[in-house]
Amino acid sequence: MGAHEEHHILSYGKLAAVLAGLLALTLVTIGVSYVDLGFWNVPVALTIASTKVTLVLLFFMHLKYEGKAITWSFIATIFFLAIMITFTFWDVAFR
């Protein structure tokens, strides 16, 4: 294991703050579902969900504290997923 790597142990305070953030965003998701935003219904729901995912990845899954290889592996995965979704829409959107 490389010498530059350290084990990061997050404080309970920080973890509790992230958890509180996630619970708050869950409440926002529920709240927003009662408001009819028309076209923006889906984009808003996805934005909130993506924010929650980002928090989980960065803090609970330690992505913020990992080396470059792990970060790039993650970016590659997201890139691959983005390709699969967008390329499929070349079909669905133009049928």
Asked if 4 is part of the footprint of other proteins (rule: CB under 8 A), the reply reads: no
Report how far residue 51's alpha carbon sits from residue 24's, in angstroms, rounded to the nearest whole number: 12
Identify which of residues 7 and 11 has a Cβ nearer to other proteins in the complex.
Answer: 7
Check binding of 39 to other proteins (CB under 8 A): no
**Number of neighbours of residue 59 by Cβ within 10 angstroms:** 20
The Cβ of residue 51 has, within 10 Å, a number of other Cβ atoms equal to 14
Out of 39, 60, 69, 75, the residue judged to bind other proteins by CB under 8 A: 69
Is there binding between residue 26 and other proteins (CB under 8 A)? no
Tokens 């529920």 identify what position?
Answer: 30
> Which one of the spans 23-31, 39-47, 52-60, 70-78 is the region binding other proteins (CB under 8 A)?
70-78
The C-alpha angle 52, 54, 58, rounded to 5 degrees, equals 125
**How big is the chain, counted in residues?**
95
Closest contact distance (angstroms) between CB of 79 and other proteins is 9
The binding site for other proteins (CB under 8 A) comprises 1, 69, 73, 76-77, 80, 83-84, 87-88, 90-95
